[in-house]
A and B are shown apart, each in its own frame.
Chain A
Amino acid sequence: MSPAEVLQRAIQTARAGRRVEARNLLLKIVEVDPRNEIAWMWLSGLVDTLEDRIIACENVLTINPDNHNVRTYLAKLQQQLRYSVKINIDEAVGLYNQAKAHADQNEINDAIRLANQALEKNENLKEAWLLIGRISPDIDQQITALQKALKLDPSNPEITANLKELRYLKANPMKVATRLEQLGKFDEALTIYHGLAVKTKDSREFDNIYRQIVRIEELQKEKIRFVAPTSSITRLTFAWPSLYFSLALIQVGLNPFKHSSYYLWLGLPLVFVGGYLLSMAEVRSSHIVWQKLFNEHEDGSPFARLITAATGWFLIIVPHLLLVIDSLNRLQNFDIPLPPF
């Protein structure tokens, strides 16, 4: 059968209402003869999606730019496409907002389901990928989501850093368990520890995992409340400044206005920073400081902690030393009063 006969048959089949059969015949024709204008024209009415119709029309116009009917039809199709895309984007944003509200209320499963629905409407919605990357309990899903987000925004350093961290955590499941523990998700941490205990062949590592399991189970048994690392850091930050404040107060005769020694009070913010660094070095948590200063993904290596603690101690000790020097200066110029008796 010649191409012209096949085309004729396809047109008759289409007129008879057998669209799929006609479309298959027309696709065979354009495969052999991609510049067959009539075949593309018929195809533009037989393909299923709006996008395919537009492609067919564009092919007709490439072959024959003077085909005004098809040009008008293409304009209509493009308008329809814009409208449907806009609807999809609006729906996707609506679903994303719902997902975010669920995530804020810690309803993770609902949030992920809605975010996925949003992405079905518009897979270019970066925020939805980021949300999944942030909240999903499945590390593989998190990595995939962040990869998609990075494709949409390749120059975003935050996504790159988060992705790097997640890949690191995937390679170090013990860290994931520790991280979950820091977030107060003891059950999930236990699941990971149990999984690791089953897999490990090293007896020392098994002992370590077993200790972690026993520790968490005891915490759960005793119903110990979870205290977020941030809250512990904040609380402990105030320990040393409260001492320095009391000492400085007594140094100025309990009256900073009468016996002004402003340099003593300048020490207070230093002690605060020192106290903060010291408590940060003590409380294990994944802190931005570890990332920014030491380029580390987890909760601070022993080296990073040591440096942070040493800096903290330095900032605490120096103002206290200045206080001692001030006291010694005063003692040097001090006329000892006679006994009252």
Chain B
Amino acid sequence: MLPLNDTEPNRYSFFPIMTVTIIIVNCIAFYVEMFVIGENYWSFFMKYATTPRLILNAQGGGALSNVTAMFLHGGLFHLLGNMLALWVFGRRVEDACGSWRFLAFYLLAGTWAHILFVVVQYDSRIPGIGASGAVFGLMGAYLLLYPSGRIRTLVFVSIVPIWPRIRAIWIVLYFVGVQIIPAIDILLRKADYSINHWAHLGGFFSAVFILLFVRPEAFARYLSDTLV
């Protein structure tokens, strides 16, 4: 299941300038990671990624590393997956918030993703990177603001590709649902996963803050049970 696009138009703004900017910054950061940093990635990640043990001991970049970690990715598919989801769910959330408050919410969701990651995996010395925590925050926000929204999604039935418009709630439930068992596994057995499941859940639950960020017109519509 691969979400491709939200087919509904924007209501308040013409173009999702901040979403596109974040995507571009992520791509530039990936280029720097791959072609400038290269072999020195360990010291680079120690400085600019979120490592629970360093965060808890107030060592390293702290808040700055927490932000830079949101713009780093471990591979091309990691980057592409996150950026596609950022485009699909971020565009209309930005429309409801306005560009700068959208950026603030994006950073807030990423930060709470890291906070939950640090709290649960407090002993870990493995650095956490990726925009996925913030993107999960956007998914949660999308679900709160547009509960009846539909997403054009690529689905393979056996080997046949189809791209129906699926209700966002099913897509989000799917992506959140697949986090739960590994997250419990990490919590109970301290299992080692290459995916940061607790950060995903932390980002998703930070979506409750979205109502502080939406523009007044969108908030009035939200309260009126009308399409935001």
Contacts and interface: CB of A to CB of B under 8 A. Distances in A.
Interface of A: 222-227, 229, 232, 235-236, 238-240, 242-243, 246-255, 258-259, 282-283, 323-324, 326-328, 330-331, 334, 336-337, 339-340
Given A235-B212, A235-B219, A254 B62 contact: no
Given A242-B212, A243-B104, 13 more contacts: A223-B226, A224-B221, A224-B224, A225-B220, A243-B105, A243-B107, A247-B67, A248-B63, A249-B115, A253-B57, A254-B55, A324-B64, A330-B62
Contacts of B223: 225, 227
B111 A328 contact: no
A246 B61 contact: no
Contacts of A223: 224, 226
B62 A334 contact: no
Contacts of A324: 63-64
Interface in B198-221: 209, 211-213, 215-216, 219-221
B158 interface: no
A48 B202 CA distance: 85
B118 interface: yes
B43 A336 contact: yes
Given A250-B55, A250-B115, A243 B64 contact: no
B216 A227 contact: yes
A226 B223 CA distance: 9
B216 A232 contact: yes
B73 interface: no
B42 to A, nearest CB: 5
A255 to B, nearest CB: 8
Given A249-B115, A339-B42, A254 B216 contact: no
A242 B108 contact: yes
Contacts of B101: 236, 239
Contacts of A238: 212
Contacts of A323: 63-64
Contacts of B209: 242
B226 A251 contact: no
Contacts of B108: 242-243, 246
B59 interface: yes
A24 B188 CA distance: 108
Interface string B39-79: 00011001100000011111111111111000000000000
B224 A327 contact: no
B119 interface: yes
Interface residues of B, number: 43
A222 B224 contact: yes
B63 A222 contact: no
Nearest to B110: A246
A226 B221 CA distance: 9
A189 to B, nearest CB: 15
Contact of A225 (B46, B65, B224): B224
Nearest to B223: A225
Given A223-B226, A242-B209, A247-B111, A254 B63 contact: no
Nearest to B104: A243
B112 A259 contact: no
B95 to A, nearest CB: 16
Closest A-B pairs by Cβ, 8 of them: A327-B64, A259-B58, A253-B58, A232-B216, A251-B62, A251-B63, A247-B63, A246-B111
Nearest to A258: B58
Contact of A252 (B58, B118, B126): B58
Given A238-B212, A243-B111, A331 B47 contact: yes
Interface string B100-133: 0100110110011011001100000110000000
A225 B212 CA distance: 17
